[in-house]
Amino acid sequence: MRDLWDSFVQFFTSLRVTVVLLALSIILIFAATLDQVNLGIWAVQEKYFRTFFVFWNVKGFPVPVFPGGYFIGGLLLINLVASHVYHFRFAWKKSGILLTHAGLILLLVGELLTGLWQEEYQLRLDQGQTRNYSESFRSNELAVIDATDPDWDQVVAIPEERLQDRGEPVQHERLPFRIAVRAYYPNAAVQSREELGNPSAPPPANRDIGARLAIIPLPITYKPNERNLPAAVIELLGPSNVSLGTWVVSTMIVQPQTFDYAGRTWRLAMRFERAYKPYSLTLLKFSHDRYIGTEIPKNFASKVRLHSEDGSTDREVLIYMNNPLRYDGLTFYQAGFDNNDTTTVLQVVKNPSWILPYLACIMMGLGLVIQFGLHLFAFVAKRRHAA
Amino acid sequence: MKRLLPLLVLLLGAVYLASPFFRTPKSDFDLAGFGRIPVVANGRTKPLDSVARNTLLLLQGRQRLVTPEGASLTPNQWLLDVFFRPQLADTYKHFEIVHPGVLDVFGLAPEDGAGNKRFAYLQLVPKLEELDRQAGLAAGVEAPVRTAYQRAVLNLRDHVILYQQLKHSLVMPDGSDFLGDLLRLQDNLGASIEAVRNREAGKPADTQLATFAMEMGSKFLRMEQIGNLLVVPPASASAGSQWEKAGQTLLGTFQHRVVNVHTLTFAGLQHTWKNQQPEQFNTLLSKHRAEWERAHPAILKKTDTETRFNQASIFGRNTITLYVLAFLLAALSWLKWPEALQRSAYYLILLAWVATTAGIITRMWLEGRPPVTNLYSSALFVGWGSVGLCLILERIFRNGIGSVAAGLTGFCTLLIAHHLSLSGDTLEMMRAVLDSNFWLATHVVVITIGYAATYLAGFLAIIYVFRGVFTRSLDKATADSLGRMVYGIICFATLFSLVGTILGGIWADQSWGRFWGWDPKENGALIIVIWNAIVLHARWGGIARTRGIMAMAIFGNIVTSWSWFGTNMLGVGLHSYGFMDQAFVALVAFGASQLALIALAYLPKERWRSVTALK
């Protein structure tokens, strides 16, 4: 038993394993870089880094072909910690190495936490528009809104994932009906049946605009500047499974569909997942400067008013390239523009572990300077001695 | 003799390096004065001299031009002909076309061109519409997936447009007497406007004058629409007025009731150049210059410096020759006269390095930016950094190895820089995403030094392999010192590439709220860090000995080249600002050569010619 433990320890603390793991990580990163041309940056992160294994589809079955980011990173972390625990003897000569590796551990942990905690949203504002929510890049939701009170909306948001599996109808305490998904398309266009010239085909739904639409499924896109626009056919079920009708919901249908039921007014909308904030942003002015006589962009800037609900904050902010707004644990940065320079697109990022890389950088840089500095001094002293 | 040799070499080298300043073309025209005229192109103020040189590089890959009559033109002479004698310039073969498919569009064969690849505008004219159609088709395809033909067609279309734009930038290139017309307009300005108004209103009018004014107006409009250079400076620095195209200013003539003096000067220059009247040409230029000196001395300070900088051609052939010479001298020193030759080589390297330092500083001053702002300047800086490191190595070890490596890396990086300069103005404006002097000065500079050091380690390892396999000169002491050099440089490279990479992450976090995005360039930098870490751990763990370390250092060249150029070729991500096409072949060839060198390193020790010396 003791032998087994020893060889176990020896394996995990060996430099050979370090080198092999590092080499594997190079291959992984290289392959992931190449695959970005096909998959785009988001899908690559999921496929190569935020996973224990990289899978290949062989005849429809996912086959693990290479260790993924979590696997290699995890083993490296174990290797690193284990060798320091088992070979730890403090000496000033080793302080640089210790510091560097401690920084590295911090960096790896930080990247793991980022992977777990980081959230990215988008905030689109037209000139003069005010919004108190940002929208997800990739996630969507089905919003069921109780709009009876003209001053106040009661929203029940159902995440897209819940629509994907067409199992039990969705039930919610605030809703007097249940929602059954009859069809779901991860990416689809909706078009008027008349325009399509195919009025004889049965409509996908019987209520509201759904009766006049056709759903055209599209392949899922991975391009970084495109997003999937899901659509679904849902049926609302009242008590004892009485059908209230079927609706087509899609992120392409901007206007919510309204109906009355149980003495209340309801709205239905499939939309980009929203994150509401206790404050709002108003776009005062977007400016897009170019270098004189050219189309080369010199600067993009959004002048916004930041106003918090409790009234404690009310100020104007200028967000431009390399100068984001940091507020409430979020970072708002200038990501794009649209509509002839009258719409700004801000990226909103939440990353609670943002401080770790800064610390790691200082520790590793300092550690290497100490380590190599010691080497250099020893080398110079030796040469002096020899001369 | 042997003692004086290094000083003699230094002196000759310095004279050689300064020689471009003494080379003036034989001409009665003040060509240099013409080249110093400031204009705005690609969003920045620059002298016409730069416009001439950059355009020639862009169109045909070199600055030299030979007319069909066999006369050799300087870039400024060429530009003068484009502006003022376009009928002549149309016969100059300055459009490089190499893709056979593009030649087919025009029905041309390589033999129809100068040097089998350069063609004249007149040869292209009959099929310009077809070129435009082909380019329209190619433009519909997304850039990363365009074929070589599509890229070549688009390139040529852009070049033809650029040439047309230049022709319309100062005067109307229709062969008319533009100066005479402008003077006539000036003398009858009030009457012309009156005539046009009356005719419009249906009143009796001087029809001839009205027609003339309308014709001039449409010429100005054409110049305004096609011309690309902004050549008329703001009237005063404060009034918020902007640089204008000549056509734009001329259109304003009818409003301001006066013909702008700059546009008159250009017309005068056209007249005197067309009729080959050097005296009048030079008088006009010097008056124009005096006006500039009065009104905008600050702009002149920059553009004059840039003209001198162009003339010095610091990153050109002369410096490249010095690096080659130094390389040869230092390599020769291993066979004969070690001290004298090593010292000579060291001096030459020092000279070239001081010159490139001055060049980089000048560029920084001209741009108002840290040293690395685009791929071209990164090549210069990689060369500068690694040669600087070599100078330190040579100072410490005094065995010629530093000089050989310096000659090699200096030569290679300047060659790369030359090829990168063919894509246009190397002092281009920064796109908004990258516009941050602080991060350009920290992240970009540090990471570029990391590249330089990793390359240097690789080249030192190549020297080790070459000397060991092909010569008997690799003795134990030399091998040991090479081993130490490579190790030291890799430590240095690890430090800089690691800190540079993390600084890049911090820039991303500062600007975009995320530390790491797995962007290709970020990944490339990370791979360099990991590779250097592997080399160090392999050495510390005794997994690789000297030969293994050397082979790994050579592989570092491939890793660095991938990060530096390969990632840009993917055409995705935030860093794809330096997209290039043809360099891909060069990159693959370089990678293959490095693999061959690694194989060479693993030749059995008995086959090494230095086998006895190494014992």
Q: Measuring CA to CA, how many Å separate A379 from each of A94, B394, B485?
A: 16, 15, 11
Asked casually if ipTM beats, i.e. exceeds, 0.85, the reply is no
Q: Which chain B residues have a beta carbon less than 8 Å from that of A299?
A: 432, 435
Residues paired with A109 in a beta bridge: none
Q: Indicate the SS3 state at residue B548.
A: helix
Percent helix, strand, coil in chain A (nearest 5)?
35, 40, 25
User: Of B398, B433, B516, which to mutate for an interface test with A (greatest number of A Cβ within 10 Å)?
Assistant: B516
A34 touches chain B (CB under 8 A): yes
Helix, strand or coil, per DSSP, at residue B70 = coil
How many angstroms from the chain centroid is the CA of residue B270? 29
Among A residues 278-307, those touching chain B with beta carbons less than 8 Å apart = 290-294, 296-300
Which among B443, B484, B514, B530 is the top mutation candidate for probing chain A, defined by the most A β-carbons within 10 Å of its own β-carbon?
B514
Contacts of A16 (CB under 8 A, 6+ apart): B541, B543
Q: How far apart are CA B459 and CA B482, in angstroms?
A: 11
Contact B531 A26 (CB under 8 A): yes
- The answer, for A323 touching chain B at a CB cutoff of 8 Å, is yes
Structure-block tokens of residue A54: 């990289």
For chain B, give the longest Cα–Cα distance: 107
Q: What share of chain B is helix, strand, coil (3-state, %, to 5)?
A: 70, 5, 25
The answer to whether the Cα torsion of B227, B230, B235, B238 is positive or negative is positive
Under a CB-based contact definition with an 8 Å cutoff, are residues B448 and B382 in contact?
yes
The Cα–Cα gap between A147 and B93 comes to: 73
- Predicted confidence at residue A377, as pLDDT, reads 84
Over 70: is that where the pLDDT of A298 sits?
yes
- A136 vs B548, higher pLDDT: B548
How far does CA A18 lie from the centroid of its chain?
31
Asked if A343 and A286 touch (Cβ cutoff 8 Å), the reply is yes
Question: Which helix (H) or strand (E) is A370 found in, with range?
Answer: helix A355-386
Identity of the residue numbered A329: G
Least Cα separation, residue A270 to chain B (angstroms): 28
Mean pLDDT, 10 residues at a time, over chain B (615 residues)?
82 87 83 93 90 93 88 92 93 92 91 90 92 91 77 92 94 89 89 87 85 91 92 74 88 86 92 92 93 90 92 89 92 85 92 94 90 88 93 88 92 90 79 72 90 93 92 86 90 91 84 76 91 92 89 95 83 47 79 94 87 77
- Using alpha carbons, select from B101, B165, B90 the residue that is nearest to residue B125: B90
Taking the C-alpha atoms of residue B328 and residue A271, their distance in angstroms, rounded to an integer, is 69
Q: Chain A residue closest to B242 (CA)?
A: A292
Structure tokens at B320: 């490249």
3-class state of residue A190 by DSSP: strand
B523 to A30: CB separation less than 8 angstroms, yes or no: yes
Using the structure block, give the residue that is written with the tokens 């003692």: B3
Amino acid at B362: T
Side chain identity at B216, as an amino acid letter? Answer: M
Domain boundary among A225, A245, A275: A275
Instruction: List the structure tokens of B214.
Output: 């309308």
Q: Tell me: do A267 and A145 sit in the same domain.
A: yes
CB contact under 8 A, A324 and B513: yes
Pairing of strands A264-290, A130-146: antiparallel
**Spatial CB neighbours of B303, under 8 Å, sequence gap ≥ 6:** B36, B38, B45, B46, B47
Q: Which residues contact A139 (CB under 8 A, 6 or more apart)?
A: A159, A160, A272, A273
CB atoms within 10 A of CB A196: 12
Tokens found for residue B426: 């190397």
A62 φ/ψ angles, rounded to the nearest 5 degrees: -75, 120
pLDDT at B577: 41
Q: Do A361 and B144 touch (CB under 8 A)?
A: no
User: What tokens were used for A324?
Assistant: 């984001």
Contact A291 B429 (CB under 8 A): yes
Chain B positions in Cβ-Cβ contact with residue A357 (cut-off 8 Å): 502, 505-506, 509, 515-516
Q: Residue written as tokens 């909103």? A: A348
Percent share of chain A, pLDDT over 90: 7
Distance of residue A339 Cα from the nearest chain B Cα, in angstroms: 19
Indicate the residue among A239, A257, A275 that finishes a domain.
Answer: A275
Taking an 8 Å cut-off on Cβ atoms, the answer to whether B432 and A298 are in contact is yes
Pick among A14, A18, A33, A327 to test the B interface (most B CBs inside 10 A): A33
Q: Left if phi > 0, otherwise alpha if psi is -120 to 50, otherwise beta: which for A216?
A: beta
If you compute the radius of gyration of chain B from its CA atoms, what whole number of angstroms results?
29
Q: Tell me what pLDDT residue A291 has.
A: 79
Q: Which amino acid is at A220?
A: I
Residue-number span of the structural domain to which A62 is assigned: 2-118+355-386
Residues 6+ apart with CB under 8 A from A335: A122, A345, A346, A347, B512
Per-residue pLDDT tens digits for A306-355? 988 888 888 999 988 778 888 888 888 888 888 778 888 888 888 888 78
Q: Residue B197 contacts by C-beta under 8 Å, 6 or more apart in sequence?
A: B205
Q: Do B488 and A376 touch (CB under 8 A)?
A: yes
Minimal C-alpha gap between A39 and chain B (Å): 11
Q: Rounded to an integer, what distance in angstroms lies between the CA atom of residue A152 and that of residue B296? A: 63
Query: A43 near B554, Cβ under 8 Å?
Result: no
* A61: helix, strand or coil: strand
Q: Which of B429, B507, B519 sits opposite A296 (nearest CB)?
A: B429
B436, B495, B538 member nearest A322 (Cβ): B436
pLDDT at B237: 59
Which are the contacts of B224, defined by CB distance < 8 A and separation ≥ 6? B245, B247, B248, B250, B251
Chain A residues in contact with B484 (beta carbon < 8 A): 379
Query: Do β-strands A213-217 and A188-192 pair in parallel, antiparallel, or remain unpaired?
Result: antiparallel
Mean pLDDT (chain A) is: 84
Given A228, A258, A275, which residue is the final one in a domain? A275
Nearest to B462 by CA among B362, B359, B562, B551: B551
d(Cα B221, Cα B227) in Å, to the nearest integer? 10
B160: Cβ–Cβ under 8 A, 6 or more apart, which residues?
Answer: B95, B121, B124, B128, B131
Out of B431, B515, B567, name the one closest to residue A357 (CB).
B515
- What pLDDT, in 10s, does the model give residues B491-512? 999 999 998 998 888 888 777 7
Query: Cα(B390)–Cα(B356) distance, rounded to whole angstroms?
Result: 15
Q: Is A279 helix (H, G, I), strand (E, B) or coil?
A: strand
**3-state secondary structure at position A205:** coil
Q: Are A293 and B230 an interchain contact pair (Cβ–Cβ within 8 Å)? A: yes
Amino acid letter, residue A328: D
Maximum alpha-carbon separation in chain A: 99
Which positions in chain B touch A101 (Cβ < 8 Å)? none
**Residues A271 and A281 occupy one common structural domain:** no
pLDDT for the residue numbered B570: 73
Average pLDDT of span A258-275:
86
Taking an 8 Å cut-off on Cβ atoms, the answer to whether A19 and B537 are in contact is yes
Residues 6+ apart with CB under 8 A from B409: B382, B383, B386, B387, B390, B452, B455, B456, B459
B456, B390 contact by CB (below 8 A): yes
Q: What is the rounded CA–CA span in Å between residue B572 and residue B585?
A: 19
CB B447 within 8 A of CB B501: yes
B217: exposed, middle or buried (C-beta count within 10 Å: 0-12, 13-18, 19+)? Answer: middle
Q: Which of residues 326-365 of A touch B (CB under 8 A)?
A: 330-333, 335, 347-349, 351, 354, 357-358, 360-361, 364-365
Task: Please give the radius of gyration of chain A, using alpha carbons only, rounded to the nearest integer.
Answer: 28
Of A15, A32, A33, the CB nearest to B543: A15
Mean pLDDT of A239-249: 85
Decide: helix, strand or coil at residue B562: helix
Residues in CB range of A215: below 8 A, 6 or more apart: A183, A185, A188, A189, A190, A204, A231, A233, A248, A250
Nearest 5°: the CA angle B425, B589, B415 is: 35
Cβ contacts of B436 on chain A, cutoff 8 Å: 321-322
Alpha-carbon gap, residue B197 to B603, rounded angstroms: 90
Please report the pLDDT score of residue B578 as a whole number: 40
d(CA B245, CA B248): 5
pLDDT, tens digit (0-9, with 9 covering 90-100), for A137-155: 778 888 888 888 888 788 8
Total tally of structural domains belonging to chain A: 3
Sign of the torsion formed by the C-alpha atoms of A182, A187, A190 and A191: negative
